[in-house]
Amino acid sequence: MARRNKLQKFAEILAFPHVIENYSFHQPQLVGKDGVPVDLVGHWAERQFGNAHPITLELACGRGEYTVALAARYPGRNFIGMDIKGARIWRGAKNALDAGLTNVAFLRSRIELVDHFFAPEEVDEIWITFPDPFSRKGQVNRRLVAPVFLDRYRKILKNDGLIHLKTDNDFYYHFALETIRDYPHTTLITHSGDIYAGELPHPDLDIKTYYERMHLEAGLTIKYVQFKLRKNG
Beta-strand relationship, 104-108 and 186-192: unpaired
Q: How far apart are CA 21 and CA 38, in angstroms?
A: 10
Residue 19 has phi, psi (to 5 degrees) of -115, 125
Identify the DSSP state of 27.
B
Cα–Cα nearest to 67, from 27, 37, 95, 109: 95
Sheet containing 186-192, strands listed edge to edge, beginning at the edge strand earlier in sequence: 37-38, 30-31, 19-21, 104-108, 78-83, 55-59, 123-129, 157-167, 223-229, 186-192
Contact (CB, 8 A) for 99 and 72: yes
Catalytic residue among 39, 115, 132, 194: 132
Cα–Cα nearest to 144, from 162, 159, 163: 163
Rg over CA atoms, the chain: 17
Cα–Cα nearest to 19, from 123, 93, 115, 127: 93
132 has catalytic annotation = yes
The catalytic residues are 132
